[in-house]
Structure 1
Amino acid sequence: MIVSLNKYREKSRQRGDLWILFLVILLSLIGLAMISSASVVVSYDRYSYNTYYLTKQAVSFGLGAMLMIFCTAIDYKYWSKISVSLLVIGIALLAIVIMPGFGQKIAGAQRWIEIGPFTLQPSEVIKLIYIIYAATWLSSKKEQIRNLFSGLLPFAIVLGIIGFLIISQPNLSTLLVIIATAASMVIVAGATFSHLALAGSLLVVMVISLIQGAGYRLQRILTFFNPSVDPLGAGYQINQALITIGSGGWWGLGFGQSRQKYLYLPQPYIDTIFAVIVEELGFIRASLIIVLLLILIYKIFTIALNSKEPFGRLLASGVGFWIAFQTFINIGAVTGLLPLTGIPLPFISYGGSSLIMLMASVGIVYNVSKYGE
């Protein structure tokens, strides 16, 4: 991992796509504003002051901005050189978090490691690390990617190890995002349809087994098809989210005027923050946030398409798929189009590890836009 950074520092003054950096900053600031409103009641109820979650997210935003700037200044090819070392670190963190006495357990899930006043969520860290590793592996195999045993099998084994550790937390929704991102990158790399069909079949079997093996997951699926079955139990959160969205109408109740955040809507500043956004800002202005996310995703994919170098193309496309899948799953779940999950809305939801890693990833993509085209 000890590779001279100076060797990989940029040597050109070519300007990259500054718009993606601007969009990330804008979305993150919107997120801070909405967290300040959505978390105020829970913050005071738990910690006796209103800005507990806002303060922590603001610190994460500062750290994320610094890391993003750092990543813009490092030649993206450097990450390929240290991809295996990063993967080892990421897997080690996933293993540590599920070890007794190390991981912090919240609401039955053991997904966090305490570091002083902060917590680290390794499953968010591994998303970017695996994208870097996958881009490195797939770009190095070239035509061999069409060979199941020499091209895809080793790639799938690493994904299986990561999947086992994430399911042990448990965190099925994050694993599905990682698998979907990896599968999309494999398509970009040129895998055959038969291999993808085989992988898809195995994935369906795995997901069904995991759902059947955990009662709460099965209950979420049943509630998705009929939220009124258990309105005070498994269906409570989605019912409250839909009530929250319905309360906003076209133009909203006004910033800070949410009624549902008064301990009616669970996790109003994390998984269901988009519902609060619609309630306070209305459907029209909430749609503008979706538009900003779509523009960011579009620009990232444009950078990937314009990249002439395979690693840069796969790296940028992986980040684009990651943000796209998380956006779709979060908003789809909150609006009742998908079963409810614990996936945060990129750049908007509370979550320091998520925000920092997303900002770092966009910093890397910016560098691809400078030197990969």
Structure 2
Amino acid sequence: MQIQNSQTSRPTTPESKQTSTTSGRAFRISLPKTNTPASLNSTLLLAVVALLVGFGLIMVLSSSAVEEFAAGRSFSSKFLKQLLFAVIGVPVMLIISRMPLRWLIGNLAWVALAVVFLLQVLVFTPLGVEINGNRSWLDFGFTTVQPAEFAKLALCMWLAMMVTRLGNRLEDWRKFIIPLVVPVAVVVGLALLGKDLGTVMVLGALVLGALWFGGLKGRYLTVGTLFAVGGAILMAIISPNRVARITSFFTGDCDYEGLCWQTSHGFFALARGGILGVGLGNSTAKWSWLPEADNDYIFAIIGEEFGLVGGAAVILMFAVLGVILLRIWRQTETRAGRVIVGGVFSWFIFQAFVNIAVVIGLLPVLGVPLPFLSSGGSALVTTLAAVGLVLAVARDNAARESERAEARRNQTGTKWPKNKKSAKNAAADVTNPPRASSSSRKRAKA
């Protein structure tokens, strides 16, 4: 940005000799220019994400304030922590969005996958902690980190790189089973060892969705889906708690003070909200009645405080988010970009669906947070970083379209002047060509 200033003074006239001379400063601001045109889809994506993150911060404050105060901490402690991660995540998103796509699917993808491997292995060391029966967190003292959230982001980048490099070898499963399937199986397997079924389901949906949107053959995806479903059933069978939850879900025979405490109070919260809700901050379920009110069950608090209208608005925002991601995917020509956008779409929409379905009783409790809204620093930072990946793809699409438009102009030989006055004259010459002189017309008639 360049700022120039010049000092101007009023010319001296006989009438103004006896008055004081006035002077002012004029500033001319030159904004930075870019060769990439603005993208409507990118703007809409940023707007929807900003709405979700902002509303999520409000709901984290509302749903966690009571229990934080009851625990002897500041009522805004969880909110401030979530706000800090949002302040970290937004610059990360913007930085990633400005990176060239070839960097994101190059060496950075290998680095991301290696870091995820290391973090997931550290979960099974003394740094790892177990919460609610799942060993999926690392405790660094000042904060906890969930490596599986970073695995989602790393898989989007790594799958895009591998699909691009393998190319036609994806037609034969024997040629991609080792370079593609084995690393994915290791990442998902480490999450399985942590017994976090909800996260494993999201990882599986992300991988299958990314490969489907990337153009992998349907028969291979069918086999992968069967393996994923079989693995989920196996994980449910080996856990007595999950077996009890699933059995009570299908039979309806549930212990109110045991397995059904959370689901029952989630229903109570939604029922109390009615159509318009009881108002922001007036929820009673968050007064230590509803476990994980600020995390897995934050949608129940939204339904209680904002009613059916508020819950429908949240669902609508996720639907709009999905439509925008599909629009960007349709405009993407590179296979790597299609894998990234397809993976992020599958991640966000599937996870939001599972979370909301659990709260309203369509699925048994799985422990999956609501993207952008639930409290959790790792989840918020990684989802914002994933949005940055999509923005980088959209920026690459816009750059390609700009290059094609420039090539078409060069082929037609049309060169437009740079300054506005010359451009107007050129446009006038095109729309109003000069008339021939009278002598020219006479010669033409002769």
TM-score, length of structure 2 as denominator length: 0.78
Determine which of 269, 278, 281 is the counterpart of 1:244. Answer: 269
Moved more, 115-124 or 354-363: 115-124
Equivalent position of 1:204 in the other structure = 229
Equivalent position of 1:3 in the other structure = none
Counterparts in 2 of 1:1-373, with a 5 A limit? 12-16=35-39, 17-81=42-106, 82-99=108-125, 101-373=126-398
> Post-superposition shift, 1:114?
2.7
The 8 Å contact of residues 210 and 341 in structure 2, kept in 1 or not, is answered as no
Moved more, 236-245 or 43-52: 43-52
> Post-superposition shift, 1:328?
0.5
Taking the aligned partners of 1:211 and 1:274, their CA distance within structure 2 comes to 25
**1:290 aligned partner, one-letter code:** I
**1:14 aligned partner, one-letter code:** P
The 8 Å contact of residues 245 and 364 in structure 2, kept in 1 or not, is answered as yes
Instruction: Give % identity.
Output: 27
The 8 Å contact of residues 21 and 363 in structure 1, kept in 2 or not, is answered as no
> Post-superposition shift, 1:188?
2.0
**2:211 aligned partner, one-letter code:** V
The 8 Å contact of residues 195 and 235 in structure 2, kept in 1 or not, is answered as no
**1:95 aligned partner, one-letter code:** V
Taking the aligned partners of 2:284 and 2:337, their CA distance within structure 1 comes to 46
SS of alignment partner, residue 105 of structure 1 = strand
**1:103 aligned partner, one-letter code:** G
> Post-superposition shift, 1:187?
1.7
The 8 Å contact of residues 214 and 338 in structure 2, kept in 1 or not, is answered as no
Taking the aligned partners of 2:364 and 2:196, their CA distance within structure 1 comes to 14
Would you say how many aligned residue pairs link Structure 1 and Structure 2?
A: 363
Taking the aligned partners of 1:257 and 1:154, their CA distance within structure 2 comes to 53
Q: Which structure is higher in RCO with an 8 Å CA cutoff and minimum separation 6?
A: 1
Alignment gaps of 5+ in structure 2: 1-32, 399-446
The 8 Å contact of residues 64 and 355 in structure 1, kept in 2 or not, is answered as yes
The one-character-per-residue Cα deviations of 1:49-91 (angstroms, maximum 9, x if unpaired) are: 2111111101011001111111122122211112122111111
The 8 Å contact of residues 275 and 308 in structure 2, kept in 1 or not, is answered as yes
SS of alignment partner, residue 39 of structure 1 = helix
TM-score, length of structure 1 as denominator length: 0.93
> Post-superposition shift, 1:332?
0.6
**1:294 aligned partner, one-letter code:** A
Moved more, 32-41 or 227-236: 227-236
Taking the aligned partners of 1:182 and 1:302, their CA distance within structure 2 comes to 20
Cα distance change of structure 1 residues 331 and 251 upon mapping to structure 2, 3 Å threshold: same
> Post-superposition shift, 1:46?
2.1
> Post-superposition shift, 1:193?
2.9
The 8 Å contact of residues 145 and 189 in structure 1, kept in 2 or not, is answered as no
Provide the alpha-carbon RMSD of the alignment. Answer: 1.7
The 8 Å contact of residues 227 and 238 in structure 1, kept in 2 or not, is answered as no
The 8 Å contact of residues 139 and 189 in structure 1, kept in 2 or not, is answered as no
The one-character-per-residue Cα deviations of 1:2-44 (angstroms, maximum 9, x if unpaired) are: xxxxxxxx97433231221121111111001011111111111
SS of alignment partner, residue 133 of structure 1 = helix
The one-character-per-residue Cα deviations of 1:304-355 (angstroms, maximum 9, x if unpaired) are: 1101111111111111111011110000111111111111101000011000
SS of alignment partner, residue 234 of structure 1 = coil
Taking the aligned partners of 1:118 and 1:151, their CA distance within structure 2 comes to 38
Moved more, 337-346 or 265-274: 337-346
Taking the aligned partners of 1:77 and 1:295, their CA distance within structure 2 comes to 28
SS of alignment partner, residue 151 of structure 1 = helix
Taking the aligned partners of 1:107 and 1:207, their CA distance within structure 2 comes to 18
Equivalent position of 1:5 in the other structure = none
Cα distance change of structure 1 residues 191 and 313 upon mapping to structure 2, 3 Å threshold: closer
SS of alignment partner, residue 197 of structure 1 = helix
Moved more, 314-323 or 271-280: 314-323
**Runs of 4+, deviation exceeding 6 Å:** none
Taking the aligned partners of 2:139 and 2:51, their CA distance within structure 1 comes to 29
**Higher radius of gyration, 1 or 2:** 2
Moved more, 43-52 or 191-200: 191-200
Moved more, 273-282 or 295-304: 295-304
> Post-superposition shift, 1:154?
3.4
